[in-house]
Structure 1
């Protein structure tokens, strides 16, 4: 079964993915809120300007204030995005140096991160996997070739029930249709009690066969 270094890598990957998702989510939410507020104020100004000059001047002042706030928010968001990119690069360098395959999945089961070792083992470029279903591409069938239904997929169960799942008797499927035996651990990514996805750490067991 998986040993301590695997646990360390799983924790590191989970922290990276959860942090980047949180930064992206919070930044986008605040930005969208300010844009909506600005647009609502502009509409209100257009409706009142013709009938009430005093009101119009007040609305114009509100727009000035909101525009200033929006500009600050845009600048802050750019700084946040730059910081997030720097974090992503640093973590990816670490995770890509690992010999184990590491996958980051969202709650729909789509790839949000694939390290170099994982991509090599399944025969895809990382860019071919991002945003696509892990189950459809690499975990669709059992070792005997029969379909693996989603309800039987231990990887998916991690981001559904919030529990760590593992297996040493499963297979992954490559881009060219071949399969190889794997040992993996699927660990849920959580934030404030909410499940955001899962981190999967795996290795190719065929490398250990006599």
Structure 2
């Protein structure tokens, strides 16, 4: 065996070893980046959920007490209550679909920053409890992954500072991205959930997965408002 052949084999082994180390390093960096993104998304959900719950508790206290008397509250409660009033809540509500174990905070807007951390209310569509079509978008490989298990008849709730809107799924369809009619206003209060499809497609998804639901009840926090709804 010649010395030149031995040297070539050694050089090849060194190149392969270096490539192996490089791939391992790149893989590690990707895992760290992915873990960081997941951690940031989870942190946003926790922060928005906590802020929303605090604002909701404050809202309920305002409604249920005819004349709130903070002098009877603990100093901790007064401080938290005042802080919740001073700091705006970005989340507009919490969307829940118990049958698929989905619970996610809904933020305003559908830019990438928002959808990386939550699901987003599509601007120009209705609000919970109002007549019209309320539309919410989310990523198929994120919070809306569970939509693939939703079935007709499933219950959906959307909790806001005004009350709880309850919906029932009545239609599921797959459409092309250009089908903007799924966002069209409706005479009755409805909910439309939108994500890309297929769920495990790599790259730009060719279709959209649409879950349609009709509102079956709205339960406002205010007792007076509940009486108004019941009288309609």
TM-score (norm 2): 0.33
- TM-score, normalized by length of structure 1? 0.36
Larger proportion of strand: 2
Larger Rg: 2
Higher relative contact order (CA 8 A, sep 6+): 1
- Structure with the higher helix share, 1 or 2: 1
